[in-house]
Amino acid sequence: MGKSEVRLKKCERAIRAALLIQRWYRQYVARLEMRRRCTWNIFQSIEYAGEQDQIKLYNFFDFLMHHFTPASSERSLISHIFRVNEICRDAEWERYFCYESIEVPDSYTGPRLTFPMTFCGVSKVVQAFKHKQQLHARYVLQLLRETWRLLRILTNISHVSTCHTKEITICGDLHGHLEDLLLIFYKNGLPSSEKPYVFNGDFVDRGKNSLEILLILFGFLLVYPNDVHLNRGNHEDHIVNLRYGFTKEVLGKYRVHGKKILNLLQKIFSWLPLATVIDHKVLIVHGGISATTDLNAIARVDRHKYVSALRPPKPTHYAADGCKTQAMGSNHREASGPAEGRRRVCSLTHHSSPPAQRSDLPRRSLHNLPMGSLLSWSVEEELKRRRRLAGFDQSYGELQRSDTESGATAETDEHEWKQIVDVLWSDPMPQNGCIPNEVRGGGCYWGPDVTEEVLGRHNLQLLIRSHECKQDGYEFCHNRRVLTIFSASNYYEMGSNRGAYIRMGPDLVPHFIQYQASQACRELTLRQSVGWTERSALRALREQLFVHKSDLISAFQEFDPNNTGKISLSHWASATESVLKLGLPWRVLRPQLVSSTQYGIVDYQMWIRELSITEPKLQISDTSILETMYKNHSNLETIFRVIDTDHSGSISFEEFRQTWRLLCSHLKTEISDEAIADLAHSIDFNKDGSIDINEFMEAFRLVDLSAHA
């Protein structure tokens, strides 16, 4: 064999080896990508299911307000969340913002602010927060007052112009991730007249430093009102804040003045602009659009009426003293009850079927919100009577148009409200059309055809929105006419996603800057990062499976008529999805969730026992109350914080009982007063007759033992 033939064979072996390595690597990357996508689906499905629960709970409260008599105990428990402070005139609001009586002690080491706010002052605030210092309550209230004064003179839609000497920076959701905001400022520079910014909503909730982010952004807004633009997000809403952590954060950091700070922030959130337009060509909104989106209508909306976007306002009337007496969807709901003839809506904005078919809608929708079956006979009679008085002959959740004089006004108010909800809550979809967003429970899904029509009608070329976490921090869709930007890195878990922001010059071409705020995460390999987030997602999913174990066993037994304790893998997947309704690929996830199967058969009884979850060791006679507690942990905390009207962080035994009665009404289940009292006494650790909300929720936190193995 000649030397040339030897060299040729060596080359062939080298090429064959390279091809094998390349094939192996592609398969390796493909497997990692599949694991990453499954992990992402788990996180997102659980997140959106929580949003559905939040909106359904609020609609239950709304139902109580509409249909129960003003004197009913259920109605009185939650009536305060439907009205803003009983203050009518701006002068009274000024007094409510009063901070002069609050003294700053000499021992205070944080920044001492002077107003009007200066760049030096807000820079000191940034540095203080960077070093974990807290701004004194006096300065917080003063800064909020100045912000409120400024926001009131801003328009609903901010208009921004570019020039060749400066680019506009656009940031998406921050969700309390202060480290992401500080990293953006480090990489891109602080806001200034030469460095304008647009922050596209969802500044608060989920993260630990929502208030710090707000104060920084408000500070820069005061210094550069023409160069810093803040859009409202769906989490700038005091009802949403009850569930997702911002209310708890503020009350924990400012125990004396926290309630006042929260009330003022409710007012400020309602004054945040709804959209920003760059050079009349690029529209920036938090959520998105719908087929009926009209920027001219949005520009005319009296936006501050919508303290919560979860409920439409009632018509505005003026009393003899000139004070507005409107009882609003997120605002005022007077003790006299709903106005007669008011048109009701049973979902946030969209109705996917006529009333006669509403009972056929799937669970994952706001449209089917049936009345609690456990309500007592007298309550049922009261509901029927109130519906007759209000002109409703149909059951809860159905529409009935009114012919009263207020009908036209109500229709106008509802149209305005729908415009706002769609802007704050909607998501794009790949298919044409516009349908209810039944995954989140609010807003709509809109397709490429709607994008083309709405942008064309307003002579726009690009829609920038946020609202959805993206693994790379940004994502184009709809033929690159819609761009999602998300700025909170590590949103679900360390390594779950990058954050990103946009730089845009006069050519209106977006340039992306991606980042990871965590140094530890930046040092992980791709395999380590996927493994870390996968374990976290599976831990969250196992908790969901555990809290539904009774329902799962019942569903499995339907496929096991002979009580063998075993079912096929396909039946296991079908039953699991029928209970959790998360839309996950259960057969793909089976190896991570079920330790072993034999010939495609799952021993479901053993599998339930193997879920490595610990429970609190409490002596409670009725164990069903524990499963209800696990399954509705977030709803229960929300009701707790609604009932805790003085924001003290603790509730009495009677308030604890009322909390459970509300939850039982919402869930259409029955738990005896004796079982509730038994639970209350078992968790009153210091035996003072009251229950600390935070201690109670922590006592019932499930722990996945597999995570600590």
Give 355-398 pLDDT, tens digit per residue: 333 333 333 333 333 333 333 334 444 444 443 443 333 333 33
Predicted TM-score of the model (pTM) = 0.78
Q: Is residue 96 part of a domain?
A: yes
User: Of the ranges 149-153, 398-402, 597-601, which is most confident?
Assistant: 149-153
Q: Is residue 18 part of a domain?
A: no
Q: Are residues 490 and 571 in the same domain?
A: no
**Residue 67: band (very low, low, confident or very high) from pLDDT cuts 50, 70, 90:** low
Residue 159 to residue 226: CA distance in whole angstroms: 10
Among the residue ranges 345-359, 402-416, 671-685, the one predicted with the least confidence is: 345-359
Tell me the pLDDT of the chain averaged across its residues.
79
pLDDT digits (tens, 9 = 90+) for 151-198: 999 999 999 998 877 899 999 999 999 999 999 999 999 999 999 999
Q: Are residues 484 and 578 in the same domain?
A: no
Sort strands 228-230 and 197-199 into parallel, antiparallel or unpaired. parallel
Task: Determine the pLDDT at residue 698.
Answer: 64
Task: Determine the pLDDT at residue 166.
Answer: 82
Task: Determine the pLDDT at residue 402.
Answer: 41
Q: Are residues 199 and 111 in the same domain?
A: yes
Q: Are residues 110 and 201 in the same domain?
A: yes
Q: Are residues 576 and 663 in the same domain?
A: no
From the list 277, 275, 212, 210, the residue with the least C-alpha distance to 240 is 210
**Residue 85: band (very low, low, confident or very high) from pLDDT cuts 50, 70, 90:** very low
Residue 655 to residue 661: CA distance in whole angstroms: 10
Q: Are residues 565 and 476 in the same domain?
A: no
Task: Determine the pLDDT at residue 38.
Answer: 86
Of 503 and 640, the structure prediction assigns the larger pLDDT to 503
**Mean per-residue pLDDT for 34-52?**
85
Task: Determine the pLDDT at residue 183.
Answer: 97
Listed residues 558, 587, 614: the one ending a domain: 614
Sort strands 499-504 and 168-171 into parallel, antiparallel or unpaired. antiparallel
Positive or negative, the CA dihedral 338, 339, 340, 343 is negative
Task: Determine the pLDDT at residue 408.
Answer: 58
468 neighbors 427 (Cβ within 8 angstroms): yes
Tell me how crowded residue 682 is: count the other CB atoms within 10 A of its CB: 14
Task: Determine the pLDDT at residue 142.
Answer: 95
Task: Determine the pLDDT at residue 362.
Answer: 34
Q: Is residue 532 part of a domain?
A: no
Does the structure show a pLDDT above 90 at 332?
no
**Mean per-residue pLDDT for 473-496?**
94
Q: Is residue 184 part of a domain?
A: yes
Among the residue ranges 46-60, 214-228, 571-585, the one predicted with the least confidence is: 46-60
Residues in contact with 179: Cβ distance below 8 Å, sequence separation at least 6, in sequence order:
517, 518
3-state secondary structure 393-444: CCCCCCCCCCCCCCHHHHHHHHHHHHHHHHHHHCEECCCCCEEECCCCCCCE
Among the residue ranges 19-33, 315-329, 541-555, the one predicted with the least confidence is: 315-329
Q: Are residues 435 and 562 in the same domain?
A: no
Q: Is residue 447 part of a domain?
A: yes
Task: Determine the pLDDT at residue 322.
Answer: 44
Listed residues 493, 515, 537: the one ending a domain: 515
Residue-range definition of the domain harbouring residue 602? 547-614
Q: Is residue 374 part of a domain?
A: no
Does the structure show a pLDDT above 90 at 539?
no
CB burial string 159-181: b at 16+ within 10 A, e below: ebebeeeebbbbbbbbbbbbbbb
Q: Are residues 172 and 237 in the same domain?
A: yes
CB burial string 494-509: b at 16+ within 10 A, e below: bbbbbbbbbebeeeee
Q: Are residues 629 and 679 in the same domain?
A: yes
Beta strands in 606-675, from DSSP E residues, in sequence order:
613-614, 650-652
Q: Is residue 590 part of a domain?
A: yes
Query: Of 136, 235, 332, 467, which is the active-site residue?
Result: 235
Q: Are residues 560 and 656 in the same domain?
A: no
How many domains is the chain built from?
3
Listed residues 461, 495, 515: the one ending a domain: 515
Q: Are residues 238 and 95 in the same domain?
A: yes
pLDDT digits (tens, 9 = 90+) for 209-242: 999 999 999 999 999 999 999 999 999 999 899 8
CA count, 13 A, side-chain hemisphere, 107: 0
For residue 87 the two structure tokens come to 């203050």
pLDDT digits (tens, 9 = 90+) for 255-276: 889 989 998 999 999 999 999 9
- CATH number of 581's domain: 1.10.238.10
Question: How wide is the angle at C-alpha 222 spanned by C-alphas 217 and 227, nearest 5°?
Answer: 75
**Mean per-residue pLDDT for 561-566?**
91
Q: Is residue 535 part of a domain?
A: no
Task: Determine the pLDDT at residue 8.
Answer: 85
Q: Are residues 221 and 274 in the same domain?
A: yes
- CATH number of 457's domain: 3.60.21.10
Query: Is 633 among the residues known to form the active site?
Result: no
**Residue 621: band (very low, low, confident or very high) from pLDDT cuts 50, 70, 90:** low
Task: Determine the pLDDT at residue 610.
Answer: 78
237 neighbors 247 (Cβ within 8 angstroms): no
Task: Determine the pLDDT at residue 344.
Answer: 30
